[in-house]
Structure 1
Amino acid sequence: MNRILLIDDDENLGPPLATYFQRFEIQLVHATRPSAGLAQLRAGGFDAAILDVMLPEMDGFELCRTIRKDSDIPIIMLTARGEVMDRIVGLEIGADDYLPKPFEPRELVARIQTVLRRLKPNGNGHAAVLSAAPTLKFEGLEIDTARRSVLRQGEAIELTGTEYELLAMLAREPGRVFSRDDILNQLRGHEADLYTRAVDIVVSRLRRKLEPLDCIKTLRNAGYSLALRREAE
């Protein structure tokens, strides 16, 4: 059973959500303060986190930045009033998804299931067999698709689930130009009003982490491609 941590200061939100999540074999743990939530995350055992933006002690954006210093756990932000800037900032600082309040519990479950599928690509809750997926090797870049790990010039780099899925998508067909719609169908598939901006933000985050490699090319009005030469097996 997957364990999800909700950090939201609304004490009345956690219990009904936890009961609802049990229908989908998901255990929801509720922390009402960021300090308590951080302590629980550092203790381990969680598969994803849900962060409200409006919190005591620190807001959800600062909390997301703090978590990202030590962890690539999938993060879903609950954005206040569905503000566009809240969603954009959340993506820029490393959140994997966002959901405006008020929300339907079933939609939140669907978002959780989506980020968990990115983490566990074989869909059965266990790591993929190492021999089932090859290592993709390029000049200066190595992607182990079984372990979901990435080496940049021999150095391991940490990517969020969304960043990894984008890189793997481009790397499986180097040179192919993927449109923003192609990428969003793979990574997100909703929030049409933010389609272009959401993709650009994730690409920008990934580019920064891959520096000094210049491997993601932008083709104006077309999309993105991986511009690295595949190494011979």
Structure 2
Amino acid sequence: MRSNCQQHHNCKVHTHGQDCYRPVPEVMAEHPGMDGYCYFNQTGFWVTPLPDKGQDFIEYAKKGILGLRTMGDYGGKDQGPLITFNFEGQVITSYMDLPHYSYDDLYGYSLGFLQGQGLDTELMKNASGWIAISRQKCLEIQTKYNIQNEELVLADWLDDNMVLLAKVMCSANLTAVHMRPDIKEKAKWRSLTDCEPITARDFAKHHYIKCLLGYPNSASDGAYLNAHACLLGNHIGHFTDCPYSPNVRF
């Protein structure tokens, strides 16, 4: 069932807009072999087809890191506030050098994509191998969470991106008071002491739709998360803190 939350995506004017409101597995089953990011291109700003699926994923990761910097005021590594997440019984710290770090760091940690969580960054140089790793991650998500078709509607996925951010902010004890009222309502964010924290299942469902839209797309997501950060005990480090550091300005 669709919520009464306002919609903040391009489905109303998209060529395949009607399919935004159907379960993604059903839509993609009708278009075998189709890249879901192509089919739903630009329904959300991050839904953009990969230009070359044979390119190694380290290059995709670099482009993702640099592209997201254009959306904020990056002052350098560890120049943002040190934040503390309370997540699934764990306490984890990270420097929020850009606003999206709060989301991406915890998202990567939850999915097990950070350096230090068992994946070898060198594997990203083998595009087909990295896609196979992503496929396995996706299968593990569905085996663990048994996500139902009615939970996998693209329009809800697009709307919920900011809702998940509000829940992340709850987990990090960061205020979401500035966010739109409809987002706060759906996220159940009322105050710093009365809000709903993000869960591992929330993150898993968000990533799983990327899997359904094509394993190269979920693989690209995992590559960005891996190149961006690493787990160091109970702290998430970035770039030169990590075994692998992409060739970008720190």
TM-score by length of 2: 0.28
Q: Which has the higher contact order (CA 8 A, sep 6+)?
A: 2
Higher helix fraction (1 or 2): 2
TM-score by length of 1: 0.29
